[in-house]
């Protein structure tokens, strides 16, 4: 073993990152051939700094166009950069649509994906009839007719618990089953903005956007609450035809029993719009 490799091994540390990104110009989180992804952009910088191939392990995968306010990932660091300094080092080299909020050392077997107890997503709808350029990248401008957020909340309530949600399981998923433990499901309004938040131990590929696409049909009176529930209880995937646009969705946070970051770093980091008339 050379002196360089011995030193690198001696100083190997597992480093966790809290990551924000604007999903607009990304083809999702996961590395893919011929497409720009968040994982690849960060791995490229890490590999350049450490002069070796580096794999970044994320807490979950976001689809093309989906944002994240507190994604979590980890990698194996070698060399002499202190774990808490990696955020600044990476931010100096990463593109402007990725920001590392914080970095810290974690001890194996802590794993960004397998140690997580939940993921939470927020979907934002903008219901004002007047368009707004500053809202457009982060909300579905849904002005077709009013939405009843109280009815939408009542429709979400039966989702709490562990269910087979094959009705919300899109094709191209590598998951072997459709069982999901939904821990929280909320729909609430701030002025012209309707927010839908779902928290679960894990999510099916495309699940949140399919739920929202169906739920707005309930909110506008086109579909009944009982019909919504019947679709997922009976796993009627063929009846769930429309997914909400990706740009309204944000991976809000990931939760862990043990997490090295203070609450202000990772909790509820997506700002809410406030518009008054």
For residue 134, tell me if it sits in a domain: yes
Identify whether residues 150 and 186 lie together within a single domain: yes
Please pick, among 25, 63, 128, 268, the residue that the annotation labels catalytic: 63
For residue 243, tell me if it sits in a domain: yes
For residue 266, tell me if it sits in a domain: no
Identify whether residues 131 and 102 lie together within a single domain: no
Please say if 97 is a catalytic residue.
no
User: The domain spanning residue 45 has which CATH number?
Assistant: 3.30.70.580
For residue 207, tell me if it sits in a domain: yes
Single residue among 62, 86, 106 that ends a domain in this structure: 106
Q: Are 229 and 168 in contact (CB under 8 A)?
A: no
For residue 94, tell me if it sits in a domain: yes
User: The domain spanning residue 208 has which CATH number?
Assistant: 3.30.70.660
Identify whether residues 142 and 96 lie together within a single domain: no
pLDDT value, residue 198: 98
Pairwise CA distance, residues 241 & 217, whole Å: 12
For residue 42, tell me if it sits in a domain: yes
pLDDT value, residue 173: 66
Tens-place pLDDT, residues 170-193: 876 667 789 999 999 999 999 999
How many domains does the chain divide into? 2
CB atoms within 10 A of CB 32: 13
pLDDT value, residue 153: 98
For residue 277, tell me if it sits in a domain: no
For residue 264, tell me if it sits in a domain: no
Identify whether residues 48 and 86 lie together within a single domain: yes
- Give yes or no for a cis peptide into 109 (omega within 30° of 0): yes
Torsional class of 92: left (φ above 0), alpha (ψ -120 to 50), beta (otherwise):
alpha
Identify whether residues 91 and 218 lie together within a single domain: no
Tens-place pLDDT, residues 46-85: 999 999 999 999 999 999 999 999 999 999 999 999 999 9
In order of 43, 45, 76, 89, 234, the CA distances from 48 in angstroms are 9, 5, 14, 12, 50
Identify whether residues 98 and 146 lie together within a single domain: no
**Residue stretches of the chain with pLDDT short of 70:** 1-10, 172-174, 277
Identify whether residues 85 and 195 lie together within a single domain: no
Single residue among 106, 131, 149 that ends a domain in this structure: 106
Identify whether residues 154 and 92 lie together within a single domain: no
pLDDT value, residue 89: 98
Positions of E strands within the chain: 13-21, 57-58, 67-77, 98-106, 118-126, 140-141, 161-164, 179-190, 193-200, 249-255
Identify whether residues 137 and 10 lie together within a single domain: no
pLDDT value, residue 9: 46
The label of the residue with tokens 């968040």 reads 38
Q: Are 153 and 186 in contact (CB under 8 A)?
A: yes
Range of the domain at 17: 3-106
Identify whether residues 151 and 206 lie together within a single domain: yes
Identify whether residues 210 and 242 lie together within a single domain: yes
Give the torsion sign (CA, 68, 192, 208, 159).
positive
């Amino acid at each position: 073993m050379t002196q360089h490799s011995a030193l690198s091994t001696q100083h190997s540390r597992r480093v966790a990152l809290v990551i924000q990104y604007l999903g607009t110009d990304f083809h999702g989180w996961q590395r893919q051939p011929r497409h720009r992804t968040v994982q690849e952009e960060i791995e490229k910088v890490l590999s350049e700094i450490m002069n070796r191939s580096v794999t970044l392990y994320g807490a979950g995968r976001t689809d093309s166009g989906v944002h994240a306010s507190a994604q979590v990932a980890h990698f194996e660091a070698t060399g002499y950069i202190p774990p808490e300094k990696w955020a600044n080092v990476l931010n100096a080299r990463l593109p402007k649509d990725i920001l590392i909020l914080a970095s810290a050392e974690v001890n194996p077997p802590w794993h960004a994906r397998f140690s997580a107890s939940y993921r939470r997503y927020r979907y934002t709808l903008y219901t004002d009839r007047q368009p707004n350029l500053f809202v457009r990248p982060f909300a579905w401008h849904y002005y077709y007719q009013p939405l009843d957020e109280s009815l939408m909340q009542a429709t979400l309530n039966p989702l709490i618990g562990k269910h087979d949600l094959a009705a919300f399981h899109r094709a191209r998923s590598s998951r072997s089953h459709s069982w999901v433990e939904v821990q929280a499901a909320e729909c609430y309004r701030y002025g012209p903005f309707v927010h839908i938040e779902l928290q679960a131990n894990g999510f099916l590929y495309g699940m949140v956007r399919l739920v929202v696409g169906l739920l707005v049909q309930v909110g506008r009176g086109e579909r009944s609450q009982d019909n919504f529930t019947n679709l997922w209880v009976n796993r009627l995937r063929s009846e769930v035809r429309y997914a909400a646009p990706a740009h309204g969705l944000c991976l809000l946070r990931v939760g862990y029993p043990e997490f090295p970051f203070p609450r202000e770093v990772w909790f509820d980091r997506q700002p809410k719009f406030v518009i008054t008339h």
